[in-house]
């Protein structure tokens, strides 16, 4: 019975088997490290026990816009209050032409969300009574 023989010597006569084995192990370990570093973070900042908050309580946000915000990991009043005007307008524009008319509504969302995040519902209700169409 013949056995398989793999030549592990280089042209100069040195043994390269262990060199290649070390390179293979190093590449394998590097792959694990990169996979660990590049895995998506599941650490959303939702201040109420990890659940999504009802963003429709903010004047000018309906269920469809709320879904756009959820898709961009803005799922709490805290996240919304820390979002920039440009970021919010970009999210609305990414939603398509049906949402373009709602871009101006995002002006007051961060301030409203800050009141909601601080549980100042009465103050928020007073302010929303003064708002016309979210602005």
Give the model's pLDDT for residue 49. Answer: 45
pLDDT at position 45 over 50: no
Please give the average per-residue pLDDT across 107-135, as a whole number: 85
CB-CB neighbours of 77 under 10 Å = 26
Asked if the structure places residue 89 within a domain, the reply is: yes
How much is the pTM?
A: 0.59
* Coil/strand/helix, residue 127: helix
Token readout for 134 is: 């979210």
Distance CA 111, CA 124 (A): 9
DSSP 8-state symbol, 15: B
pLDDT at position 133 over 60: no
Distance CA 29, CA 15 (A): 23
Residue pair 78/117 in contact by the 8 Å Cβ criterion: yes
Asked if the structure places residue 28 within a domain, the reply is: no
Asked if the structure places residue 80 within a domain, the reply is: yes
Q: How many domains does the chain have?
A: 1
Give the model's pLDDT for residue 80. Answer: 92
Asked if the structure places residue 42 within a domain, the reply is: no
Range of the domain at 84: 55-130
Give the model's pLDDT for residue 57. Answer: 92
């Amino acid at each position: 019975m013949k056995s398989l023989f793999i030549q592990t010597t280089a042209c100069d006569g040195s043994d390269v088997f262990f060199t290649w084995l070390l390179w293979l192990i190093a590449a394998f370990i590097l792959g694990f490290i990169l996979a660990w570093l590049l895995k998506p973070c599941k650490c959303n900042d939702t201040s109420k026990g990890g659940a999504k908050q009802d963003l429709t309580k903010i004047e000018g946000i309906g269920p469809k816009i709320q879904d756009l915000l959820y898709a961009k990991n803005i799922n709490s009043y805290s996240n919304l209050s820390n979002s920039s005007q440009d970021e919010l307008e970009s999210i609305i524009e990414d939603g398509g032409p049906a949402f373009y008319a709602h871009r101006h509504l995002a002006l007051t969302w961060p301030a409203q969300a800050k009141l909601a995040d601080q549980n100042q519902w009465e103050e928020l209700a007073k302010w929303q009574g003064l708002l016309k169409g979210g602005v």
